[in-house]
Amino acid sequence: MPALATVRRVADLRAQVHAWREAGDTVALVPTMGALHEGHLSLVRLARREARRVVVSLFVNPTQFGAGEDFSAYPRDEARDSALLAGEGCDLLFAPSAEEMYPPGFATTVAVSGLGEELEGAFRPGHFAGVATVVTKLLIQAGANAAVFGEKDYQQLQLIRRLARDLDLPTQIIPGPIVREGDGLALSSRNVYLDPDQRRIAPALHAVLVSAASALALGAAVSECEAQAREALRTAGFDAVDYVEARRPDDLHRLGPGPLSEPARLLAVARLGRTRLLDNLAVSAPRA
Ligand code: PAF
């Protein structure tokens, strides 16, 4: 299989996308930090259905990692990622250096207030400013018709939709469904950090969300379901539960403590050792 065409400069990315669009081709971008797994590849396949040309970006963005987080340890293997992408029919890999993305004197930050400060934003201060800034740059750099983001990082997806609307970015944001292991564990590049005992406990996160979602859909009170889910996660062996919350699906506004009167999204983060596992699930409103 021929090697995947790779560019490292914004100017080269722009020139290629411009040439495709001049020729009448549509272009979809899939932003990633590499360490690709089946979840990423499903986004590439979705992008291929949406557009004639697919660009994948690979950039481990330093500004979205906090002090003491896993920036240095984050798994990196460009050759492997590139081969996987070539196998999926990706047309171009954009793999810039940190200097290309953040040249000396870089001083601009994109922050989405409200949405960017809660849940993950509260546990990882500065994280979403890093995400919003790099994603805004990638969307402007690529000038694609569409960009695909996974629902696994549900709050990130809603934040990106918000910033694209607020900043009039002309790229359609397309969500890709979560891909799970057979036992329910959502695929994540960070699952490689789990030791065998932790890996046995990890699927309980999805199982607990599934049972909380069914209770909510049957009319159970939000506050009770959230508390029961937190307790169930601790009993299952998680070392800590950062949050389990039912929120409004689009803007992630808080809901009242009683039974749902509208559909919701359950979002949870639980820890196994130093690894934070994220998951989320759609919840239907109880039938009237
Ligand atoms: O979801 C990710 O992998 C990253 O947050 C993203 C969107 C590529 C920005 O660095």
Could you please state the CATH topology (level 3) that the domain comprising 6-176 is classified under. Rossmann fold (3.40.50)
121 phi, psi to nearest 5 deg = -65, -35
pTM of the model: 0.97
As a whole number, the mean pLDDT across the chain is 97
What residue ranges do the domains of the chain occupy?
6-176, 189-282
pLDDT tens digit sequence for 18-56: 999 999 999 999 999 999 999 999 999 999 999 999 999
pLDDT digits (tens, 9 = 90+) for 46-97: 999 999 999 999 999 999 999 999 999 999 999 999 999 999 999 999 999 9
| Residues 12 and 52: beta-carbon distance below 8 Å | no
> Contact at 8 Å (CB) between 244 and 266?
yes
- Ligand 1 center from residue 191 Cα (angstroms): 16
Per 3-state DSSP, the chain is made up of helix, strand and coil in percentages (nearest 5) of 40, 20, 40
Residue 233: pLDDT band (50, 70, 90) is very high
Q: What is the pLDDT of residue 2?
A: 76
Closest residue CA from atom 6 of ligand 1: 32
Give pLDDT, residue 61.
98
Would you state the CATH architecture of domain 189-282?
2-Layer Sandwich (3.30)
Whether 206 is catalytic is: no
Query: Can you tell me the distance from the alpha carbon of 157 to that of 154, in angstroms, rounded to the nearest whole number?
Result: 5
**Alpha carbons 94 and 6: distance in angstroms, whole number:** 6
- Of the candidates 40, 127, 206, 253, the residue annotated as catalytic is 40
